A and B are shown apart, each in its own frame.
Chain A
Amino acid sequence: GQQLNQSPQSMFIQEGEDVSMNCTSSSIFNTWLWYKQEPGEGPVLLIALYKAGELTSNGRLTAQFGITRKDSFLNISASIPSDVGIYFCAGRNPPASGTYKYIFGTGTRLKVLA
């Protein structure tokens, strides 16, 4: 099935460093979501974006809805060990297409070294 491209696939960083990851699509989306998933659990919503160019923060997390509507970015500032997990982006096509489904990315696996 279709999955969005996420980059990087995985990263090891030192505690306190900033993290950047992105997600790209071949088609336009009207909603972008960012999730975090930990082992044995379902994804947990971090940030939702509804408008091209929108920049939204949630604590140390900041996400942006790309102006082309085909990409989104997530930044984590001053990482801490509990940021470890897999981060997924998800995009939804415009409602006119009649679909309610989200397309998920391939995930970015983050490991934080204390």
Chain B
Amino acid sequence: GAGVSQSPRYKVAKRGQDVALRCDPISGHVSLFWYQQALGQGPEFLTYFQNEAQLDKSGLPSDRFFAERPEGSVSTLKIQRTQQEDSAVYLCASSPGQGAINEQFFGPGTRLTVL
């Protein structure tokens, strides 16, 4: 497809389990962002990649959160030892630019529920 895709769309995890969320950005897009969106809130920045380099991870809430983009395309957000407060929709966005980053195109998100 032409847009950003994310998988799985829904994930239910038991507290303490590890999860991995995948993002396939638009082909050729240099920039990739991960956001966390809690119920009834706006998206909150987690981390940013320019190609394979993670330039900003200031939004990751704890060291249980880890993101990678090893070949500058597909990205994975991993959450270790999930907690109930990790329940949210995780959105991925990509952008064609690097220096002048403006328009971000979002995927549909992965809804994570931690029981």
Interface set, chain A 69-112, CB cutoff 8 A to B: 88, 90, 92, 95, 99-107
Q: Is A59 an interface residue (CB 8 A)?
A: no
Interface set, chain B 16-61, CB cutoff 8 A to A: 31, 33, 35, 40-45, 48, 50, 55-56, 58-59
Instruction: Name A45's contact: one of B45, B48, B105, B109 (CB within 8 Å).
Output: B105
B44 pairs with A42, CB closer than 8 A: no
- Residues of B close to A42: CB separation below 8 A: 4, 91, 93, 106-109
Q: How many residues of A contact B (CB 8 A)?
A: 27
Q: How many residues of B contact A (CB 8 A)?
A: 28
- Residues of B close to A95: CB separation below 8 A: 99
> What are 27 A-B contacts with C-beta separation under 8 Å?
A3-B41, A3-B44, A33-B102, A33-B103, A33-B104, A40-B109, A42-B106, A42-B107, A42-B108, A43-B91, A44-B106, A45-B105, A90-B42, A92-B101, A99-B58, A100-B50, A100-B56, A100-B101, A101-B33, A101-B45, A101-B48, A101-B58, A101-B59, A104-B42, A105-B42, A106-B41, A107-B41
